[in-house]
Amino acid sequence: MYPLLNRDLKDLANAELDNLHSYKTAGRAIFERVYKTIVHFSPYRISRYVLAGSMGKNISLGLDFQPDFDFVIFVREVTPPLKPVVDEFYRILETQLPSNCAEWNVFDPFKMTKTSYSIKFLMTTVIETSRGRQKVHMEFDLLPAISFARDIAKQTGATLGAIRRTKNPRVDWNHYSTALCENTIRFVRDQPPFTHSVIRLAKLWDSKLKVELQESGNKFHFSGRSSVIELIAIHAANLQEKKANLLEAFRRFLNLIENIDDIQINFCNSTIYPKDLKPGIFDSINPYNNYADKIDPVSKQLLKERARSTLYSLTSVAKITNESDYATGFASVKMTYLVKERNLNGGFNLYQ
């Protein structure tokens, strides 16, 4: 049943992507109004905004998962830390956004939260889908970034130069990470469709593990987790000779996770760290950022154990020769390692 397994994994990775377009369009319209409000009331010199995160990279999971929106607002003539910018933007959203308007049905400023580097808020709206009109709850993360230039190449060069001039670039790059987001987005967005499918499947797998551990009271979070999964998935796809074989690429991804202590991924050709450093999972743009440094031993072990058991289950299902038994086996793999049961509104309880 090897061909069926490859087909079913592909269908799972690309489920609901058609309806995601309506969701994304509505989210952009909402933030466009938010952005114009900030520009109007803010004393800061604002340059532009970009849609970042999985939505901006075109690797979001389908509409059923109602993925969140990460928007980065670039601000001129500021220096880190950007907490004063965050505080100002928060004040504007809290006092100037209506509770409802043409772009959204419900906004509650009392449900906003903020950190020293971001603001999180929720919007409720209605979108048109192939299933008809559907109410959706959208989560937005707003992050400020330093604007050095509008040109992406110049922005990247200036940002890396600023990092290089800090006292400890291997640590202080964190103050400038959002300033590099445009090139980071482009790196992932410009990957071929096959690679995007590998990333989505990897994200399904990672998210299921994360939710299960959260529900059982275990902590499973390390800085840059989403980026780690994306970079390993891209590496796995690049190593795959037969680009149509999603099953083999996913297996390669799981093998890399299982052997994460020996992993070496260096798309930016970083020479900041030793050449033979293991593990090494370098940011695609920032040579000072080795994501592997932030994976704690407990999370690393959980990832390795999960990868090992997933590989075993996939191999067992691939060997099944009876179609009925295969259907049962694949359903078990899907529900155990890749998706959560549907909620009452028709979506998956993956991010709740």
pLDDT tens per residue, range 111-152 = 999 999 999 999 999 999 888 999 999 999 999 999 999 999
**Residue matched to tokens 């905004």:** 49
Is the pLDDT assigned to residue 171 strictly greater than 50?
A: yes
pLDDT at 17: 80
For the chain, where do the domains classified as CATH 3.30.460.10 start and end? 16-190
Is the pLDDT assigned to residue 351 strictly greater than 70?
A: no
Alpha carbons 42 and 225: distance in angstroms, whole number: 33
Could you tell me which of 251, 200, 248 has the C-alpha nearest to residue 226? 200
**What burial letters (b/e) apply to 48-62, b meaning 16+ CB within 10 Å?**
ebbbbbbbbbbbbbb
Is the pLDDT assigned to residue 9 strictly greater than 70?
A: yes
Helices then strands, each counted (H, E), the chain: 12, 7
Alpha carbons 181 and 158: distance in angstroms, whole number: 13
Alpha carbons 52 and 308: distance in angstroms, whole number: 32
Contact 136, 127 (CB under 8 A): yes
| % of the chain residues with pLDDT over 70 | 96
Contact 246, 194 (CB under 8 A): yes
pLDDT at 1: 65
Q: Which CATH class is domain 193-340?
A: mainly alpha
Is the pLDDT assigned to residue 346 strictly greater than 70?
A: no
Contacts from 311-319 at CB under 8 Å and sequence distance 24+? 311/251, 311/254, 311/255, 311/258, 313/337, 314/5, 314/247, 314/250, 314/251, 314/254, 317/1, 317/5, 318/1, 318/2, 318/5, 318/247, 319/1
Peptide bond into 279 cis (omega under 30): yes
Helix (H, G, I), strand (E, B) or coil at 203: helix
Helix (H, G, I), strand (E, B) or coil at 144: strand
For the chain, where do the domains classified as CATH 1.10.1410.20 start and end? 193-340
Q: Which residues pair with 342 in a beta bridge?
A: 348
Neighbours of 293 (CB within 10 A): 15
Distance of CA 173 to the CA centre of its chain: 20
Environment class of 242 (CB within 10 Å of its CB; exposed 0-12, middle 13-18, buried 19+): exposed
- Mean predicted confidence (pLDDT) in 282-294: 95
**Residue matched to tokens 């209506």:** 98
Query: Residue 341 — very low, low, confident or very high, per pLDDT cuts 50/70/90?
Result: low
What CATH number should be reported for the domain whose range is 16-190? 3.30.460.10
Comparing 242 with 230, the larger pLDDT belongs to 230
Q: How far is CA 194 from CA 74, 102, 243, in A?
A: 32, 37, 7
pLDDT at 74: 98
